[in-house]
Amino acid sequence: MTAVVLQPTTTWYLVLASVLFVIGATGVLVRRNPLVMFMCIELMLNAVNVAFVAFAHRLGDPTGQSVVFFVLVVAAAEVTVGLGIIVAIMRRRTSTTADDLAELQG
């Protein structure tokens, strides 16, 4: 009896990227905790990265992978600044919601 080996296709990766993006978007829309919302936004960025790499592999063009590199660089800068602001606010208040961040406007 021979084993059947299924090779993942581009469609599988796009379905995975879609599921990850929907989970992230649902988290942003439903949750009010800024830290959870921040993680959901990162999940959405990673879903888009999976789609870029899948299309780059399908087309045989490394441009999608280079775009992923720049998205990761921007995401790292976003995490540095955004997480610092969120942690600073959460230290001052024990229960923080996304609506409390409106106070940053001045």
pLDDT digits over 78-102, tens only? 888 988 888 887 788 777 777 766 6
Asked if the 10-105 domain carries CATH number 1.10.287.3510, the reply is yes
Query: What's the predicted TM-score (pTM) here?
Result: 0.81
- 78, 81, 52: which is closest to 66 by C-alpha? 52
Q: What is the pLDDT of residue 104?
A: 65
Domain ranges of the chain: 10-105
- In this predicted structure, the answer to whether residue 38 has a pLDDT above a threshold of 90 is no
> How large a percentage of the chain has pLDDT more than 70?
92
